[in-house]
């Protein structure tokens, strides 16, 4: 299965996973099995970054390797191959994590009342400011009630969008 590396979502996912230099490895990686040293030469990316990138891809099931033992020296050689066919599954897993986190945050928003410091020190739940007599725990200034209905509406909208995709 070919993966469209021009797709902004796929590219963003991979970039978040391996970083900018790691993306150079992904984009320039030879199609055949190659050693990490060969990848470093072909991609002009330092060997330590190539290895880090390959391990991250491997951990996310986007790369495989095969070991070969040199008969003369006994050394093991690792031959790497990138297979991005699992990208869609990885993207779906990330979307599910995002959806679950948004649901947890929405529950927290719905279950709490919030106050903000007049000096913008932070946003605090009712229990915290009630203990400090409605003064900011950081600077001691007054806190004011924050209506979080717009925040909750925005979260509900985003949750709905993710569930519809």
pLDDT of residue 123: 95
Other residues' Cβ atoms within 10 Å of the Cβ of residue 53: 28
**Cα angle, residue 81 at apex, residues 66 and 36 outer, rounded to 5°:** 80
Whether 15 and 78 map to the same domain: the answer is yes
Model pLDDT for residues 33-85, shown as the tens digit of each residue: 999 999 999 999 999 999 999 999 999 999 999 999 988 899 999 999 999 98
CATH of the domain at 36: 1.10.10.10
pLDDT of residue 2: 67
Domain boundary among 38, 53, 87: 87
d(CA 96, CA 125): 27
Whether 27 and 72 map to the same domain: the answer is yes
Whether 2 is in a domain gets the answer: no
Whether 70 and 136 map to the same domain: the answer is no
Strands 143-146 and 114-117: antiparallel
Whether 1 is in a domain gets the answer: no
* C-alpha distances in Å from residue 135, one per residue of 122, 128, 148, 160: 12, 9, 19, 37
Strands 63-69 and 76-82: antiparallel
Instruction: Give the closest residue to 119 by CA, choosing from 136, 104, 102.
Output: 136
Domain boundary among 52, 87, 122: 87
Distance of CA 51 to the CA centre of its chain: 19
Q: Is 146 left (phi over 0), alpha (psi -120 to 50) or beta?
A: beta
The answer to whether the beta carbons of residues 65 and 81 sit under 8 Å apart is: yes
The answer to whether the beta carbons of residues 121 and 102 sit under 8 Å apart is: no
- The label of the residue with tokens 């320039």 reads 28
Domain boundary among 55, 87, 119: 87
Whether 79 and 49 map to the same domain: the answer is yes
Whether 150 is in a domain gets the answer: yes
Q: What does the chain come to in residues?
A: 165
Domain membership of residue 121 as a residue range: 89-164
Model pLDDT for residues 81-121, shown as the tens digit of each residue: 999 989 989 999 999 999 999 999 999 999 999 999 999 99
The DSSP letter of residue 32 is S
């Amino acid at each position: 299965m070919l993966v469209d590396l021009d797709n902004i979502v796929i590219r963003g996912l991979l970039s978040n996973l391996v970083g900018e230099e790691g993306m150079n490895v992904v984009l320039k990686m030879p199609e055949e099995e190659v050693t990490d040293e060969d990848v470093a030469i072909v991609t002009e990316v330092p060997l330590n970054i190539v290895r880090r990138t390959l391990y991250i891809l491997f951990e996310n099931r986007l790369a495989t390797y095969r070991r070969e033992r040199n008969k003369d020296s006994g050394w093991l050689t690792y031959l790497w191959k990138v297979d991005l066919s699992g990208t869609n599954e990885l993207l779906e897993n990330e979307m599910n994590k995002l959806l679950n986190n948004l649901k947890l945050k929405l529950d927290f928003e719905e279950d709490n009342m919030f106050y903000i410091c007049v000096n913008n020190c932070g946003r605090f739940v009712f229990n915290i400011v009630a203990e400090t007599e409605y003064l900011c725990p950081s600077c001691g200034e007054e806190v004011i009630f924050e209506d979080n209905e717009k925040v909750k509406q925005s979260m509900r909208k985003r949750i709905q969008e993710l569930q519809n995709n």
